[in-house]
Structure 1
């Protein structure tokens, strides 16, 4: 391939994938028709996006990607952070504006139209839909400005605080913070009784029992007037993900070398609590009932989201897994990746006047003499050194841990007297 792709996101219906390329173009591609069986290897013979159709070109051909949007400002974070709506008909993402602050956008597949829903006066990140499709959450900062110039060293280490927000997508939907009353609770109870008496396995909003079918209705008119702040203090929030029972999960920085604190906000109870501490990352299942997390100690575990884990929970026994590895095949693939990465991302398209393919061909035969990852890193360093450029670092890899012998040294115990 002549490019790199990032951050693929599979739609909830399993029929589409959105992704970003190295030019910060956001695409989606239909891999199956809107009805019938999912078959990623066969032809796609359906419209994807109303007026935009997938050009399947005949049986067995590949579907064509459809451009959603482009971020016009390059940045090390090479993604527009896209997420699908529960019904797979909308994509929410964040994009940099002319002021270099990010705004939240909604893309409707049916009309092939993107809509900006935040005003760009704050830096918005990490949009996610609630599982029922009624809300869209995101985090936004009003003190991010100095960090927009990511290469400006004066902004390094500068803390950024964000608040959490919720967008009421349907104008008929009430605010999640609407004052509660006894009468309203009685009406809800009666409504639940009616739904149960229907006996058709569906509730009144058309969603099948168990949440398998959700219809997302978004009223774009005056949507910016339906953005509400969650009653939480500003912190360094990130990685928002919705869970079952209208819960929102999010990470908060716990300070240098301490990872993150994973917390949850319950829209129904209108309160937050710490869920887990010392977290490096986490991933939510589509149903929102369980999550996988990695601790700062590199251990992995799966827990349910319905309540805070109690006590110690069992880590995944990954050390019991066996993987068949062909080191030489891996090293050759890594060498080719180094070639492609420098070709595609080096700041000078002329590669400092070098014939880059010829240089790589000159060094490639040395792969036959590599016997250890240390050798491979040395070879990478020599190859990249031909570019004569700073900040082109080489490191990492699977290195054997060798115990360092403890060497005895001469010493003495002494005490200063009269002096």
Structure 2
């Protein structure tokens, strides 16, 4: 990945055949857009408009669609801009779920059912992504994205695709807190599933979902969660989970010095990859990394790493570089 040097990038997602890497990065407009990197040809192309923010791209298992979150249709949360106590500009209901067909002529599978089969057929064949290469037709791609009309405009986080690609999960919030929702893009349904998850993890094949809760870890079948959008009672689905609690003697061993060295290596690597000048202001960054490494071996507390990195980053002679080290108890 040495040829990939995006600016302020994050939220990476691989295509099923690992030929493309989707990610979010900002440009001179300061909006975040979705880009794709062609691994074989080592080039990067923007696939969403740069006049709004796009976030959390994810490929469907068949490699035919790219879903992401967009704030292209924000709404004002201010009742009035007038008066001495007029509120600052703010927005609400800011994100929509977008479907981007990667091939010209393909249509997003919203409402794929009919009277005889209200939930539609299997819209995606996950094996396609493994058997055939993902192809992207770029002309006009920014105009092909379509908003899922049945997904309300809200703030979302943690967009993930499950199973064969027709079911998505994400977290959204109301006045009380965050909760997990299930979206079926074929049946056109949006249903709440679980309140206040601590974390949500999806297996690599999209078939198992792990919810971290205050009662432990709950393991769900992706097929079971998919039924939340098809009329199956929520209580029934929750009872299908397998609950795992760490034993009372559950411990994790940590070697502080190895941890500090890993933090140092990651910080130096991140600076190398994210610095605006690929030439690093003429500084031999590999040599600089090794020059300051002996100081890490002499550290007696994690906070000492701030001093080491401050000296190392100072070699770049650049302003506005800040280093923050969290306390051990955080």
Fold shared by both chains (TM-score > 0.5): yes
The unaligned stretches of length 5 or more in structure 1 are 1-27, 29-64, 146-153, 193-203, 350-356, 368-375, 400-419
Note closer, same or farther for the CA distance 1:360–1:157 as it changes in structure 2 (3 Å cut): farther
Which structure has the larger Rg over C-alpha atoms? 1
- 1:370 aligns with none
Corresponding residue number in structure 2 for 1:173: 106
Structure 1 residues 272 and 205, CA gap change in structure 2 (3 angstroms): closer
1:167 is displaced (CA, Å) by 0.8
Q: Counterparts in 2 of 1:251-262, with a 5 A limit?
A: 251-254=171-174, 258=177, 260-262=178-180
The CA distance in 2 between the partners of 1:302 and 1:96, in whole Å, is 36
Q: Distance in 2 between matches of 1:217 and 1:235?
A: 31
Distance 1:159 1:339, change over 3 A: farther
2:45 counterpart of 1:115: yes
Residue 223 of structure 1 deviates from its aligned partner by 2.3
- Please, which moves more after superposition, 214-223 or 232-241? 214-223
Q: Partner of 1:68 in structure 2?
A: 4
**Secondary structure at the residue paired with 1:279?**
coil
Give the Cα separation in 1 of the matches to 2:74 and 2:93: 6
CA contact (8 A) 2:99 2:146 kept: yes
Q: Work out which of the residue numbers 144, 167, 176 in structure 2 matches 1:247.
A: 167
Which residue, 334, 340, 350 being the options, matches 2:260?
334
Partner of 1:397: 328
**Equivalent in the alignment of 1:272:** 190
1:252-285 CA distance string (max 9 Å, x none): 13568x4x32212112211011222212322211
The corresponding residue for 1:234 is: 153
The separation in 2 between residues aligned to 1:384 and 1:310, in whole angstroms, is: 47
Q: Secondary structure at 2:260's aligned position in 1? A: helix
Q: Find the partner of 1:164 among 67, 76, 97.
A: 97
**3-state SS in 2 of match to 1:219:** coil
1:301 aligns with 2:231: no
1:217 lines up with 2:143 in the alignment: no
Q: Deviation at 1:169?
A: 1.8
User: How far did 1:207 drift?
Assistant: 3.7
What TM-score do the two structures reach when normalised by structure 2? 0.65
Q: Which has the higher contact order (CA 8 A, sep 6+)?
A: 2
**Structure 2: gaps (5+ residues):** 76-86, 226-236, 276-280, 282-289, 315-319
- What is the RMSD computed on CA atoms of the aligned residues? 4.7
Distance 2:38 2:153 in 1: 31
Alpha-carbon contact 2:100-2:108 (below 8 Å) kept: no
Contact 2:148 2:185 in 1 (8 A): no
CA contact (8 A) 1:123 1:144 kept: no
Distance in 1, Cα, partners of 2:140 & 2:62: 21
Aligned-pair CA distance for 1:98: 1.5
Query: 161-170 or 101-110: which moved more?
Result: 101-110
How many residue pairs match? The answer is: 281
- DSSP-derived class of the 2:197 partner: strand
Q: With the length of structure 1 as denominator, give the TM-score of the two structures.
A: 0.53
Written as runs of structure 1 = structure 2, the 5 A alignment for 1:69-148 is: 69-71=5-7, 79-142=9-72
Once the 2 structures are TM-superposed, how far is the Cα of residue 126 of structure 1 from its aligned partner?
A: 0.3
Q: 1:314 to 1:379 in 2, by over 3 A?
A: same
